[in-house]
Structure 1
Amino acid sequence: MSIISRNTAGAGPRGWSHRLAFFLTFICLVLLLLAGLARHAWADTAAAPVPAGLVTLNDIESGALLFNTKEPGKYVPAPLLATDVKIDVSGPIARARVTQRFINPGDSWVEGKYIFPLPEDSAVDTLKMVIGERVIEGRIKEKQEARQIYEEAKAAGKKASLVEQQRPNVFTNSVANIGPGETIVVQIEYQQTAHREGDTFSLRFPMVVAPRYTPKEADPRFVDFTPGESGWGEVLPPEPKDTLEQPPVLHPEAGKVNPVSLKVSLDAGFPLGEVKSPHHDVTIGRGGKNAATIALKKELVPADKDFELTWKPAAAKAPTAALFRERVGNEDYLLIMLTPPSGDVQPEAKPREAVFVIDNSGSMSGPSMDQAKESLLWALDRLKPGDTFNVIRFDDTLTVLFPDAVPAHGENLAVAKKFVKSLEANGGTEMLPALRAALTDRQSHGTDRVRQVVFLTDGAITNERELFSEITTNLGRSRLFTVGIGSAPNSYFMTRASEAGRGTFTHIGNEQQVVERMSELFEKLGSPVMTNITATWPDGLTTESWPNPVPDLYKGEPVVLSARMPQAKGTLILRGDVAGEPWEVRMAVGKGEARAGIGKLWARRKIEQLEADARIAGNWEENDASILKVALEHHLVSRLTSLVAVDVTPSRPDGEKLTAKDMPVNLPEGWDYDKVFGEQAVSPMQRAALQKGSAQYAAVLAAPAPTTSRVASMALPQTSTDASALIHSGIIALLLSIALGALWWLQRHWAASAWARRSR
């Protein structure tokens, strides 16, 4: 066959393959062009079905906390929060600065609300809002007026912050008009005193508001009959409740939020011995004999349990007296601490009737239940043969173990221990019926026994006022000792309940503290009480001191007085009785060391006293005017006053919608989410999205307040990507490459076959 004839013979297959390749390439190019047009069309119209600020789980490229919306599958990125705490302790006085950074990771304007705890005796007096280089000072206003100022600023697009008190230990910080990718820094400052127990000083900083149970009850209403209306009356609306706004609680499976950094500068005023933190790992740097610097070993920790710091003197005994004063205007304010002797001769202790109440509701599940049971078992072992006792357990039901107090002998104790060991945490926290049962005294006029009620609970309730009323009304000869259990107890309720019950408050935060703290409690129960304490101030000086009257004291407790007088001069005389012996101390009040903030502490103590008087007498309106006057005069946040800070320049553009979101909090360490809220699963996709960027967000939150350029460089959720169109384009390109590869293989195979035929 000639060369011309061979080439002509092979033209058919080769021409067919070239035409097929050209046809497939043309089809793929057309499909790519159509996909590109669809991609641009999707990008132009994608914003319509997804409102600004909403994301889907597929959009999340780094860790983010998401809130549900009304649109299925759409979420809004929650504002983020980080807290930095600096506490300066000088002698028994502490000044704290709490810096909260509110970060908006989304692309919409938001209002963040954070419900957070502070010590129950804190005098909150300062609010600062930092915007860029500007610092805006907060002003103290009556609560309703402050709220109105804040709402008007929010509506006008101005940045604003509002700090309100819900309880003496629960506050709310609302921050309005946080722009997309923006950070607003809010600083809150307060004053408090360190707690003293014997030779041990302590300070607590609570980090999380635990979920609290609200009892279910009917709202009582009253009927008003007007004379002359022929017997017809009108049902009045229910009285406003003392409600507690609670934050959303994040499921533990979703990871931890709200990182906290904390540092304490301690100057004890005497040579320091042991310094430790029972619940957190810390680093301790000594700064001479009297001073130390304490910081968290981990730079950031989640806000899920209270921080506690304790310190002791290097000597065998701590100083027994302290006197500080401050001159404000034309008046002197005094803070006096004095530890009386416990008595050299201990009288023979009376036998006791001990009533132990243990909370086994759902909030006590986990380590808290173990701590409560171990504490109660320890207490049962310390009862003496002449004592009588009973055990009451409660959740949303109630069990009184014995019909009445029984002798503390082997058989009764064995029954009680078996009962305690069998307890499991579940259900709601209906505390009032248990309290009523504990205070029911069948021998109310008896004098041969000391009646002591020991109440073990985390205090996770909202009806504190109702419980206080029950204590003050039906206490009788009983004394109430509260034992706070767990990582975040309601210390306000526990402290005030013990004060109203003429007892003490003990906190047990972990199992290692059970023996130590219960031993201290039982030493108090078995030691004489200092009674009939009176304070006689210098003649001719109008002096207002708190608390008034001075309460009874147990072993190791100091007398703590706050006073105001025109001029600090003369001699204060303190008298009391301990173990049947008279006790008297004289102190020159003009020799106190000058210290800032004493006036704030006096004002806080007066407000506490007025609130306590109102609880006892029920005359809230009568005391409210005095509380309001003191709080405004001393620039303090209270039940009736708030701090508000407002920027003068609007920042949110007209027409931009503002989304209000409550900042979520962690579940307290050791709590069981399902026991408190029921079984609520977090979807695997959302859990992965939350956990993926926890370290990244922690680093961002720990950093100083970022500028606009820094925020812009963060890896934030994207809310308008064209992922679907890109995927389609990629699939078409992949098919085109497969088709061309197949044609290339066919061409090679045809060429090899043709060469073989020519060789033959």
Structure 2
Amino acid sequence: MSASPSLSRNRNQHAVLTGAGLFLWFSNAILLPVLAVILALLHPLESQAQPAAFVTPNDMGAGSLLLQTAQDGKYIEAPRLATDVDIDVNGPTARAVLTQAFENSTDKWVEALYVFPLPEDSAVYSLKMIVGNRVIVADIKEKQAARAIYEKARREGKKASLVEQQRPNVFTNAVANIGPHEKIVVQIEYQQAVHLADGRFSLRVPLVVAPRYTPQNAEAIAQRADLKAGWGQTKQSSSRNGVSKPVSAPLLAPESDRANPVTLKVNLNAGFPLDDVKSLYHTVEIDRVSDGARRIVLDGDATADRDFVLEWSAVASSVPSVGLFREHVGKDDYVLAYVTPPAVATSQKAGREVVFVIDNSGSMGGTSIEQARASLDYALSRLKTNDRFNVIRFDDTMTKFFPDSVMATADNIASARRFVTGLDASGGTEMLPPLQAALDDSHQTPGLRQVVFLTDGEVNNEQQLLDAIAQSRGRSRIFMVGIGSAPNTYLMSRAAELGRGSFTHIGSVAEVDERMRILFDKLENPAVTNVAAAFSEKNVNLSPSLLPDIYHGEPLVLAARMGKAAGSLTVSGMVGDRPWTISLPLDQASNAKGISKIWARRQIDDAEVNLTLGKITQTEADKRILQLALEHHLVTRLTSLVAVDSKRLRPANTPLTTADIPLQLPAGWDYDKLLGIEAMREAKADTRDHQTGDKSQSVNGDADVQEISAPPSASPPLPQTATPAMLLILQGLLALLFGASLLIFISRRSKA
């Protein structure tokens, strides 16, 4: 018997109601709790992994450097930096105030790290951190203690700043806990001596840190323990050809419209009537204050891609032959003396052996190789017929043009000049083999032996090169020629000091003739040798401890500490075969500021030189350097400046993001030749490896710190268009649950 239509309808309705009730029960009992758990798990992940500070390239309305995060297609804008340099020159010393304004343009709390250069002889002694209307003054501490203080303040959410020396001319400034859309100002002060050469005074302000080349056997290099410690904080990413960026600072691509702007002014009080004042590489405005004073200001903001160099000279009637200055600090007097020997007429010079070494590695690409070729071509043209010479070129390979030094005949010079003209820049900078080849004096040819080394010096193994000079210099004199807009002046000046030569910088092709002519005046004229300095008073601490040869146009610069600047200073030596001497009354010294800091810096340099020469042990050098640094409040490889705010401002559960300030490539460098396509690919691979690594621990073991890595180019890769993985998982779970409930509903209905 068939069921009535009304009964069938009722059964169907009952089945529908039963299925609906079962679906509602299943949703309430299983689906909603599962969804609640999933959403609860997702909420903290989303709040940390995708904060409001993350952006995509399409979100940016202006040119910006975006740093890649662990999330595909998510970036954070790099902190911005503006730098102001204010310098007061008074006679022989210069006091500089370097102001760095860090701006966080994101919604995240940020720790910024900036790598910046300073003069290799600068005495860094003061750090102030300005937060709102408060000024926090830094303390000088041993390096490890300063780092511990900074790390503790960072973890506690307090604003802090730490200035460390990575190399004598490369420093880092770390600033922790910069709040969202906040600006923190850090002021660094240093003293340096004014440079005098060839009758002109000069001041150099380095503005860019160039990438450094790491030799192929870098891991096998036995670096001194102090340099290991000094470089321990650096994180270098090397490509196949060895090019590395110091302290992992991102490098801006040439097409980037982002820059680290620099403003600069110099208040020049020379202490004598001025004849000529000029900026060599930047456009400036010069205002006359008095006969001996000028005010120099950069014309607009400068791009931090080349060194700033200012030169000035005295009117002919007031050129000082001797400069003597003093400063009284505590119980002691500090003396700074410039002594220039008189020009000596010479007869026909004896033959010399000159070995020219030219760097044609990738960092010399662009205008640098043009300057180097032009400089060496000029040098070859100045050789005399009784000279012997050779040419060595190097990148990551080396070529000696002649097997041994040859006579400077017209044919030999012509063939060498053709060889130099054909050189191009590429490859790595393996500087040690050509240096050793140039210092090889196994043939012992008679006469003076000189090595002229043309390079930008951008290598990581400076100490290995200096050790080689100390060990193999013999009777050779080394003359370093720094090429380009930002050469490694520390390596150049220290190599020239150990090699008893001099350092010349050529920053543009237009300078080649003048600079090389001045250099050859030094090479061709007799130096003052066997130099000695004696004070009539006792208990005088003199620097440098190793007195150099004095070359034509260059003064001997002495710094000393004594109880009272009284009595006399006598300097003597030999000019060729003739004795030379001069005596200076110390009570006639003029007053000047900053000499005590300069003396302490030179004493520290003396300790490093004596360590390199094997005259003192590592322990003795460290003890001396630490004592000087703490006494005179100086940043060294063993000491740092640290400033900490007393207030905690970052909330306890809010993560801190670390981000490096990007650096610009020095002007004139060829980006493609330096890095190359393969290097770019490997840098990107390194970035990806870093992003997919263990994120549970930060670099410093701080769980609340999220390190952000940077792609090598200012233009980040396009964001991924795939749906985020977590959303896909959620959608899959919802589909499974819905399918399960639908299956139960259909099963119940079919049974009914």
**Normalising by the residue count of structure 2, what TM-score does the alignment of the two structures yield?**
0.80
After superposition, the C-alpha distances for 1:645-678 in whole angstroms (9 at most, x for unaligned) are 0000011111110011111100000111111222
* Residues 256, 302 of structure 1: 8 Å contact kept: no
| Change in 2 beyond 3 A, CA 1:355/1:115 | same
Answer whether contact 1:101 1:185 (CA < 8 A) is retained.
yes
In structure 2, which of residues 254, 257, 265 is the aligned counterpart of residue 252 of structure 1? 254
| Cα deviation 1:492-512 (Å, max 9, x = unaligned) | 000000111111000000011
- 1:659 is paired with a residue whose SS is strand
Q: Which residue of 1 aligns with 2:609?
A: 612
SS in 2 for 1:255: coil
Aligned residue for 1:287?
A: 289
- 1:409 matched residue in structure 2: 409
Name the CA shift for 1:629/1:472 in 2 (closer, same or farther; >3 Å). same
Are the counterparts in 2 of residues 628 and 640 from structure 1 also a CA contact under 8 Å? yes
Amino acid at match of 2:471: T
1:569 alignment partner in structure 2:
566
The 5 Å alignment of 1:685-696 reads none
Deviation at 1:627, TM superposition (A): 0.5
CA contact (8 A) 1:353 1:389 kept: yes
The residue that corresponds to 1:355 in the other structure is: 355
Q: 1:140 to 1:46 in 2, by over 3 A?
A: closer
Give unpaired runs (5+ residues) of structure 1: 1-42, 223-236, 684-760
Distance in 1 of aligned mates of 2:470 and 2:226: 24
1:161-212 Cα deviation digits (max 9, x unpaired): 0000111111000000001100000000000111111211111000000000
Find the partner of 2:554 among 557, 560, 566: 557
Q: Which has the larger radius of gyration?
A: 1
User: 1:494 corresponds to which residue?
Assistant: 492
Q: Would you say the 8 A contact 1:256–1:666 is kept in 2? A: no
Query: Match of 1:567, SS?
Result: coil
From the superposition, tell whether residues 644 and 242 of structure 1 become closer, same or farther in structure 2 (CA, over 3 Å).
closer
Q: Deviations over 1:498-531 (max 9, x none)?
A: 1111110000000110001000000000011001
Paired residues of 1:220 and 1:238 also in contact (CA < 8 A) = no
Q: CA deviation at 1:410?
A: 2.1
State the partner residue of 2:306. 305
AA at the equivalent of 2:269 = D
Q: Structure 2 regions of 5+ residues with no counterpart?
A: 1-42, 235-245, 682-752
Give the corresponding residue for 1:660. 658
Deviation at 1:621, TM superposition (A): 2.3
Partner of 2:598: 601
Cα-to-partner distance string for 1:610-664 (whole Å, 9 max, x where unaligned): 0111111172222101100000000000111000000000111111100111111
How far does residue 596 in structure 1 lie from its aligned partner after superposition? 2.1
Given that residues 267 and 291 in structure 1 are in contact (C-alpha distance below 8 angstroms), is that contact kept between their aligned partners in structure 2?
A: yes
Q: Distance in 2 between matches of 1:296 and 1:672?
A: 26
Q: CA deviation at 1:107?
A: 0.7
Partner-residue secondary structure (3-state), 2:392: strand
For the structure 1 residues 208 and 221, does the alpha-carbon distance in structure 2 shift closer, same or farther, using more than 3 Å as the test?
closer
**Residue aligning to 2:695:** none
Residue 574 of structure 1: how far off its partner (Å): 1.6
- The CA deviation at 1:219 is 3.7
2:536 partner amino acid: P
Q: Which of residues 459, 462, 465 in structure 1 aligns to 2:460?
A: 462
**8 A contact 2:159–2:176 mirrored in 1:** yes
The one-letter code of the counterpart of 2:287 is G
Give the Cα separation in 2 of the matches to 1:189 and 1:500. 29
Shift of 1:154: 0.4
**Alpha-carbon distance change, 661 to 681 in structure 1, aligned in 2, over 3 angstroms:** same
Aligned partner of 1:392 in structure 2 is 392
> Given the alignment of the two structures, is residue 100 of structure 1 paired with residue 100 of structure 2, yes or no?
yes
Which residue of structure 2 lines up, in the alignment, with residue 481 of structure 1? Answer: 479
Alignment correspondent of 1:649: 647
Residue of structure 2 in register with 1:581 after alignment: 578
**Distance in structure 1 (CA, Å) of the matches to 2:117 and 2:559:** 24
Q: Which amino acid is 2:588 matched to?
A: K
CA–CA separation in structure 2 for the residues paired with 1:559 and 1:45: 65
- Name the aligned partner's letter for residue 547 of structure 1: P
One-letter amino acid matched to 1:285: D
| CA–CA distance in structure 1, aligned partners of residues 282 and 226 of structure 2 | 45
Instruction: Quote the offset at 1:533 in angstroms.
Output: 1.6
Paired with 2:172 and 2:261, the residues of 1 have a C-alpha distance of 18
Corresponding residue for residue 510 of structure 2? 512
What is the CA–CA distance in structure 2 between the aligned matches of 1:611 and 1:120, rounded to whole Å?
13
What does the per-residue CA deviation read over 1:85-108, in whole Å, with 9 as the maximum and x for residues that have no partner?
011111121110000000001110
Give 3-state SS (helix, strand or coil) of 1:607's partner: helix
Q: CA deviation at 1:125?
A: 0.5
CA 1:533–1:173: 2 relative to 1, 3 Å: same
Corresponding residue SS for 1:294: strand
| 1:176 alignment partner, SS class | strand
Deviations 1:55-79 (A, max 9, x none): 1011112332211122221111100
SS of equivalent residue, structure 1 residue 341? coil
- 1:628 paired residue number: 626
Residue in 2 aligned with 1:212? 212
Name the structure 1 match of 2:343: 342
The aligned counterpart of 1:638 is 636
Q: Is the CA contact (8 Å cut-off) linking 2:107 and 2:180 kept in structure 1?
A: yes
Find the aligned partners of 1:283 and 1:472 in 2 and give their Cα distance.
Answer: 44
Cα drift, residue 242 of structure 1: 6.3
SS in 2 for 1:678: helix
> What does 1:137-176 align with in structure 2 at a 5 Å threshold?
137-176=137-176
Equivalent position of 1:330 in the other structure? 331
Residue type of the alignment partner of 2:270: A
Amino acid at match of 2:676: G
Counterpart of 1:301, as a letter, is A
8 Å contact from structure 2 (residues 63, 258) kept in 1: no
Q: Secondary structure at the match of 2:58?
A: helix
C-alpha contact (below 8 Å) 2:111/2:659 kept by paired residues: yes
Q: CA deviation at 1:573?
A: 1.6
* Superimposed CA distance per residue, residues 106-129 of structure 1 (whole angstroms, 9 cap, x where no aligned partner): 110010000100001100001000
Aligned residue in 2 for 1:261: 263
Structure 1: distance between partners of 2:370 and 2:220: 38
Could you tell me which amino acid in structure 2 is paired with residue 525 of structure 1? L
3-state secondary structure, aligned to 1:584: strand
Shift of 1:415: 1.7
Q: Which SS does the other structure have where 2:316 is aligned?
A: coil
* Contact kept in structure 1, 2:65 and 2:258, CA below 8 Å: no
Whether the 8 Å contact between 1:84 and 1:262 is mirrored in structure 2 is yes
The question of whether the paired residues in 1 share the 8 Å contact of 2:532 and 2:572 is answered with yes
Native 8 Å contact 1:140 1:632 kept in 2: yes
Farther-moved stretch of structure 1 (168-177 vs 254-263): 254-263
**Alpha-carbon separation, structure 2, partners of 1:400 and 1:587:** 48
CA–CA distance in 2 between the matches of 1:239 and 1:433?
A: 22
Identity of aligned residues (%): 53
| TM-score between both structures, scaled by the size of structure 1 | 0.79
Partner SS, residue 550 of structure 1: coil
Shift of 1:281: 0.8
Q: Secondary structure at the match of 2:593?
A: coil
Between the aligned partners of 2:82 and 2:677, the Cα distance in structure 1 is 29
Output the CA distance in 1 between the equivalents of 2:333 and 2:218. Answer: 49
**Corresponding residue SS for 1:452:** strand
Q: Residue by residue, what CA displacement relative to the aligned partner does 1:700-736 show, whole Å, maximum 9, x if unpaired? A: xxxxxxxxxxxxxxxxxxxxxxxxxxxxxxxxxxxxx
Report the CA distance between 1:334 and its aligned residue: 0.9
**1:575-611 deviation per Cα after TM superposition (whole angstroms, max 9, x unaligned):** 1222322222222212322222111111001001001
1:320 Cα offset (Å): 1.0
C-alpha contact 1:342 1:578 (8 A) present in aligned 2 = no
> Is the contact made by 2:279 and 2:310 (CA closer than 8 Å) also made in structure 1?
yes
| Partner SS, residue 669 of structure 2 | coil
Q: Contact 1:221–1:238 (CA<8 Å) still a contact in 2?
A: no
Q: Which residue of 2 aligns with 1:694?
A: none
Deviation at 1:559, TM superposition (A): 1.6
Match of 1:55 in 2: 55
Partners of 1:495 and 1:382 in 2: CA distance: 24
Q: After the TM superposition, which parts of structure 1 deviate over 4 Å for at least 4 consecutive aligned residues?
A: 43-49, 237-242, 680-683
In 2, Cα distance between equivalents of 1:436 and 1:87: 40
Q: Matched residue of 1:679: which SS?
A: helix
8 A Cα contact 1:219 1:238, kept in partner: no
2:357 matches 1:381: no
Report the equivalent of 2:367. Answer: 367
